[in-house]
Structure 1
Amino acid sequence: MNERLILMGVIGKPHGVRGLVRVNAYTADPDALAEYPLSDRSGRRFSLEWLHGNVAQLSEITARGNRAITDRSEVEKLTNTELFAPRAALPAPDEEEFYLADLIGLKARNEAGGEIGSITAVHDYGGGTSLEISPGGLLVPFTRAAVPVVDIAAGHVTVAPPVEVVVPS
């Protein structure tokens, strides 16, 4: 799996005894999760059919076709499995929009245009998104004030970190 994968959802707890499962979707429209080709980190492929709320019937996609997972014990083993889709399967973002995953690998420049590193990770722990810039592991809040320019096409962002953030020279 060389293609960039985007985290789209996570398999949650079983629902009932017939293999149904709760799924937490990270898509803007949770129903859209069923439209993507989904796989886990190891490459095991899945499809899902929403039944109600966040409850779905999972199927594993094998060489022989789709195999519905109807056993609670099997579904229990999938709890907390992350579901990914290839970046190419996602729709193109609108102008002035982008996927956070597209930031990884971009060069980070200071306001004078000097390169300070590359974005190696995007973190979001619930209190706001931050960008990790290496070398040095610099963490910068991903706000318009701290990152005033994002130019995906040119392959860089401009970083104006708050005074509390020490930028290695």
Structure 2
Amino acid sequence: MTALPELHAAELPPDAVEVGRIADAWGVKGWFKVVPYSSDPEALLGTKTWFLQPAEKGTKSFFQGTLELSLRQSRMHSDALVAWARGVDDRDAAQALRGARVFVPRSAFPAVGEDEYYWVDLIGLDVVNREGELLGRVRELLPTGPQTTLVLAWEQDGKTHERLIPFVSAFVDQVDLAGRRITVDWQGDF
């Protein structure tokens, strides 16, 4: 039987953003692997408090509600992010967290530079072209090698379709986070 670590129940901060999930135990001393949702997991590495919620589906969760996880250490190891938290002192305790969704407060995110955006801020934005034609809504972003690609969902004749637009300055004219809109140099028939 897997032992649940001794962690504190907490409320999810109002500005919490889901940034990854716990994949599995790593080693025997309570370390665990984390799958970040970003190719640059600064938000995970830059904060010492994470909030966990059970997996939505798939992996059986050993807890309910929200838990506060106080990190001892987190770091990149090879191609994985690994972490060790207070109250998670052995492999069984780390294994009990498997599948948990990891949240951090948005206020803990590092500041972004000019013309830089967190992916989470782009999801849900409407994308229009220079002529004002609605091309779709950002459903997700895909890392495609040297660039990121916007994945848009749009409807035609009652069916949902997908449109891909490279998120590069050659095609993206403006990102208006406050207005929840991205303007692009792209045609609807592409």
Which bracket does the TM-score occupy, shorter chain normalised? 0.5 to 0.7
Higher RCO structure (Cα 8 Å, ≥6 apart): 2
Contact 1:6–1:84 (8 Å) recurs in 2: yes
SS of the equivalent of 1:17 reads coil
The size of the alignment, in residue pairs, is 156
* Residue in structure 2 matched with residue 158 of structure 1 by the alignment: 183
Say whether 1:49 aligns with 2:72. yes
Normalised by the length of structure 1, the TM-score is: 0.68
Matched letter for residue 19 of structure 2: M
5+ residue gaps, structure 1: 60-67
CA distance in 1, matches of 2:54, 2:162: 25
Q: Which aligned pairs between 1:64-143 and structure 2 lie closer than 5 A?
A: 68-79=87-98, 81-124=100-143, 126=145, 128-135=147-154, 136-143=161-168
5+ residue gaps, structure 2: 1-11, 56-65, 155-160
Contact 1:107–1:119 (8 Å) recurs in 2: yes
Structure 1 residues 3 and 133: alpha-carbon distance in aligned structure 2, compared to 1, 3 A threshold? farther
Matched letter for residue 46 of structure 2: A
Contact 1:149–1:158 (8 Å) recurs in 2: yes
CA RMSD, 1 decimal: 3.4
Normalised by the length of structure 2, the TM-score is: 0.62
Task: Quote the sequence identity (%).
Answer: 28
